[in-house]
Structure 1
Amino acid sequence: MGSELHDNALEEQLLPRDIPPHQESSRASFASSVFNVTHAIMGSGILGLAFVMANTGIIGFSVLLLIVALLAAYSIHLLLELCQQTALTSYEDLGFCAFKTTGKVMVAVAILIQNIGAMSSYLFIIKSEFPAVISGFLHISHNGTPWYLNGQILLIIIVICVVLPLALLRKIEFLGYTSGLSILFMVYFTAVVVVKKWYIPCPLFNGTVGYVKNISSDECTPKFLQISYKSAYAIPTMAFSFLCHTSVLPIYCELQRPSKSKMQKVVNIGITLSFSVYMLSALFGYLTFYGKVDSQLLHTYSQYLQHDTIIMSVRLCLLFSVLLTVPLLNFPARKSLTLLCFSNLRFSWFRHIIVTLGIQLLIVLLAMYVSSIQNIFGVVGSTTSSALLFIYPGLFYLQISREPLKSLKKLGALGLVILGILMGVVSLVLIILNWIHSTATVL
């Protein structure tokens, strides 16, 4: 009881007090905070989860996804504890508090790479889906021969004409509201995946050439436990899909009558909703295509339902969401890069433009020349996602908290660090070995 009273007193001391009524009413409600956390979680990772299930099995996937979701909730719990103890409300500031400039740089580098990876995955979606949308509307073969069906050309045009002008703006708060539609699009995508499972028979049917030949009935049987070299992408893709830690602390600051317990409930509900959407889309996507599912789920549908109106509408919604999200992700990436490279943080249009152009050039090159979106999920997920989701929260808690090392929370933080390092290193090594094996097979 004494500990609880101390925690409550500390919480009241550190969190905003005596907020004027007009400011309190302008703060985010509980429901809108849940919406914001869910929006921060759900992204392009949803497209790779059916592929992960195909390579881990239904039970293996479900167990791993649940573990990653629980660890994500626990690591956010540690971050909220640190916010309460230090009165700091940004990931970078917690890094500085723990390890001074080194800690702040560690966080900034991880956020920069994470956002570059996320933006690259979105541009990869544009490269792969926009030609399919055009060919679907024109009812012509999607062979990439005409320039307007060439994904790389379309990607460059869209970045120059749409993404870059929005990213160059100093403030684009209006996109923060419209990008909330992405949650609706994710739910719509999941509903379509569930419904379409009953319209695509196995053996797989192609509307152009008929049934696919030489497919055994065993390939239409779901696997409950599956291990292959592609299973190495499982945890990195899941970590990439659940990462929201850089957004949680600002959302915490905007919450009406903020408290650690209230924000933890917000996070738990957001993670539960995201887990449900992820689970449904992965399960029914896998049960539709089984072992034939592509690393980018929508691309698999284009092979069998080229001119399906519903699938085309999903593509359009996804492309619209991407066009709104990439400029938003450019802001934290630019902030991190500016923090790392420039000591003078006063605004400069010249620096603003150069940094933005550099980031856009890098993500375009990655999207153009990375062969599979799964490679983006794998590398980013096993490195920066693992660091931001598992390693840094535990490491910062061990360094900042004054509890004894044998306390339950510090032991939990230590376990989170060790687990994060092991999962990240093992996954990255297996992914690299997978690349070497694939290259040797091609040669």
Structure 2
Amino acid sequence: MADSLKKQDQQSKMTTDRTPLLPSKRQDMIEEDVYEDYHEASVPSAVFNLSTTIVGAGIMALPATMKVLGLPLGILSIIIMGFLSENSIQIMLRYSRPSGARSYGGLMGDAFGTLGRVVVQLCIIINNFGILIVYLIIIGDVLSGSTGGGEHYTGVLEEWAGGATWWNERTFVLFTVMVVILLPLVSLRHVDSLKWTSALSVALAVVFVVVIAGVTMWKLVAGEIVWPRLTPDVYDQQSFWKAFTVIPVIMTAYICHHNVHPIANELAGTADSSHETMKNVVQWSMFLCGTIYLCTATFGYLLFGEATSHDILSNFDTDLGVPYSHLICIIVRISYAVHIMLVFPLLNFSLRLNLDAILFPRATPLAHDTIRFSLVTGFLICCIFFGSAVVPNIWIAFQFTGATATVCLGFIFPAIVLLKDKPLLATKSDKKQAVVMVILAILSSVVAVTTNLFNLFEPGKPAGLNGYFLH
């Protein structure tokens, strides 16, 4: 008996209440063994990793939302969506604590059983897989150029070479980026291993904001900035409904819910202390990203006015009318491409975890199985690469995932977990807020999908702003 108790005590010392990036199966509720190479993450690294998850390609579509809504309403919408997103994440953390959930799937599984767990995993797979393909397409566009509508947009490498060559050809460039940069990053097994690349990614986003702000201020002093429109651009029924389609764009810009649990699981400290720490991490990350979003949207719209593109990056392929304009455009495009590369592995983490959970629900934890980890990682990398090569433009398809799976992950699922209220934690005020979140998400999704369908089947109509539902 004494030997048995001693053995149990030794085993308890070998375990921890922190779980690594790849939590266990069986509803993602149980603890995992500590890895030899595992160390607990700090608050700054958690803030950088969560902020990098938030600030993706969606930042490029935000100035265009100002063009549709007008400056005051656009700024207000970004602030409101930031608060709603933070609230939805806090709901997830609040209900994960009593259930012991170590993943988004585990949280939904505790509230709604196996069906809830599988549904949220499928939504994460659809959302992340689509975004990663788009990321790779954007990297290819920036480095190798793109052709659309009979017009060719020159890539950075193409400009440097003075034309198309074998080494700046799109397929070769994407293959090189995947093998040399992305594959080593996605092979890391812990979120905290990416703290420095995440810090660099956030810094590049800040550089982008500083460049836009600097150019805008220069042109303001020179008197070359046109006074911005202050009211929504509504002139008929179609433009009225189009104004509502920007809501999923802003919603999607804040989506990071699929990586909240993996980042929280690696925080240092006990379960109770890390829960409180993660709440602060979310607040700091949302404040940082909200500030970046407000500055980018405001200065971007002021700089380009009604000429603001749906993807503001495309506005940086011409003369900006300031000194060193060409150099500034090169810096913006290169920094953006590198930023996307550094966001890529964070989205791949949760994609890999949820795909493995669906394919191998009874298997040992993925992080314990090197062969399966390598096979799943390699399979995803190949699918993403071939997806970006076979489907050179997926804006039309991706706008539907942005208005469905993405909105579900960010707003509907956390709200219905609160409405279910299995541990009886919610107040009447909480439930009212949850109902508002569900109604807002459903209405915006229905309007966006309906408008997208009309645009898709109406001859000669471009995808419009809806085509940029990017995280």
The bucket for the TM-score relative to the shorter chain is: 0.7 to 0.9
CA separation of 1:354/1:246 partners in 2, compared to 1, >3 Å: closer, same or farther?
closer
Question: Given that residues 259 and 350 in structure 2 are in contact (C-alpha distance below 8 angstroms), is that contact kept between their aligned partners in structure 1?
Answer: no
d(CA) in 2 for partners of 1:62, 1:168: 35
Question: Given that residues 64 and 309 in structure 2 are in contact (C-alpha distance below 8 angstroms), is that contact kept between their aligned partners in structure 1?
Answer: yes
Partner residue of 2:340?
Answer: 322
State yes or no: 1:360 paired with 2:366: no
Partner residue of 1:120?
Answer: 133
Partner residue of 1:3?
Answer: none
SS in 1 for 2:69: coil
Question: Given that residues 43 and 281 in structure 2 are in contact (C-alpha distance below 8 angstroms), is that contact kept between their aligned partners in structure 1?
Answer: yes
CA separation of 1:220/1:369 partners in 2, compared to 1, >3 Å: closer, same or farther?
same
Partner residue of 1:286?
Answer: 301
SS in 2 for 1:226: coil
CA separation of 1:260/1:413 partners in 2, compared to 1, >3 Å: closer, same or farther?
farther
Partner residue of 1:312?
Answer: 330
TM-fit CA distance, 1:146: 5.9
TM-fit CA distance, 1:344: 5.2
Question: Given that residues 78 and 250 in structure 2 are in contact (C-alpha distance below 8 angstroms), is that contact kept between their aligned partners in structure 1?
Answer: yes
Letter aligned with residue 162 of structure 1: V
Q: Which moved more, 1:326-335 or 1:243-252?
A: 326-335
Give the alignment of 1:43-442 within 5 angstroms: 43-131=56-144, 132-138=155-161, 140=162, 152-153=170-171, 156-158=174-176, 161-162=179-180, 165-166=183-184, 169=187, 171=189, 174-175=193-194, 177-199=196-218, 220-227=226-233, 228=239, 230-257=242-269, 258=273, 260-305=275-320, 308-343=326-361, 345=363, 347-348=371-372, 353-366=378-391, 368-370=392-394, 372=395, 375=396, 378-403=399-424, 407-437=428-458, 439=460
Q: Which moved more, 1:76-85 or 1:118-127?
A: 118-127
Question: Given that residues 204 and 289 in structure 1 are in contact (C-alpha distance below 8 angstroms), is that contact kept between their aligned partners in structure 2?
Answer: no
Q: Which moved more, 1:343-352 or 1:382-391?
A: 343-352
SS in 2 for 1:38: helix
d(CA) in 2 for partners of 1:114, 1:424: 15
Equivalenced residue count is 400
SS in 2 for 1:308: helix
d(CA) in 2 for partners of 1:253, 1:164: 24
TM-fit CA distance, 1:340: 2.5
Letter aligned with residue 242 of structure 1: Y
Letter aligned with residue 338 of structure 1: D
TM-fit CA distance, 1:377: 6.7
1:266-286 C-alpha deviation (Å, 9 max, x unpaired) = 212211111111111111111
TM-fit CA distance, 1:30: 3.6
Question: Given that residues 48 and 198 in structure 2 are in contact (C-alpha distance below 8 angstroms), is that contact kept between their aligned partners in structure 1?
Answer: no
Question: Given that residues 57 and 223 in structure 1 are in contact (C-alpha distance below 8 angstroms), is that contact kept between their aligned partners in structure 2?
Answer: yes
Give the alignment of 1:17-36 within 5 angstroms: 27-36=40-49
d(CA) in 1 for partners of 2:171, 2:353: 29
d(CA) in 1 for partners of 2:179, 2:46: 33
d(CA) in 2 for partners of 1:254, 1:65: 30
d(CA) in 1 for partners of 2:172, 2:157: 11
CA separation of 1:33/1:404 partners in 2, compared to 1, >3 Å: closer, same or farther?
closer
d(CA) in 1 for partners of 2:454, 2:67: 20
d(CA) in 2 for partners of 1:432, 1:95: 31
d(CA) in 1 for partners of 2:214, 2:94: 42
Q: Which moved more, 1:48-57 or 1:196-205?
A: 196-205
1:102-143 C-alpha deviation (Å, 9 max, x unpaired) = 1111111111112123213322321221133124435x57xx
SS in 2 for 1:225: coil
d(CA) in 2 for partners of 1:154, 1:281: 32
Question: Given that residues 75 and 294 in structure 2 are in contact (C-alpha distance below 8 angstroms), is that contact kept between their aligned partners in structure 1?
Answer: yes
Letter aligned with residue 337 of structure 2: L
Q: Report % sequence identity.
A: 26
Could you list the runs of 5+ residues in structure 1 that have no partner in the other structure?
Answer: 1-14, 17-22, 206-218
TM-fit CA distance, 1:333: 1.7
SS in 1 for 2:458: helix
Q: Which moved more, 1:169-178 or 1:387-396?
A: 169-178
d(CA) in 1 for partners of 2:446, 2:127: 17
Q: Which moved more, 1:410-419 or 1:61-70?
A: 410-419
SS in 1 for 2:141: helix
d(CA) in 1 for partners of 2:219, 2:134: 27
d(CA) in 2 for partners of 1:201, 1:154: 42
CA separation of 1:202/1:121 partners in 2, compared to 1, >3 Å: closer, same or farther?
farther
CA separation of 1:344/1:166 partners in 2, compared to 1, >3 Å: closer, same or farther?
farther
1:1-24 C-alpha deviation (Å, 9 max, x unpaired) = xxxxxxxxxxxxxx87xxxxxx9x
The structure richer in helix per residue is 1
TM-score when normalising by structure 2: 0.74
TM-fit CA distance, 1:256: 4.1
SS in 2 for 1:179: helix
Question: Given that residues 148 and 154 in structure 1 are in contact (C-alpha distance below 8 angstroms), is that contact kept between their aligned partners in structure 2?
Answer: yes
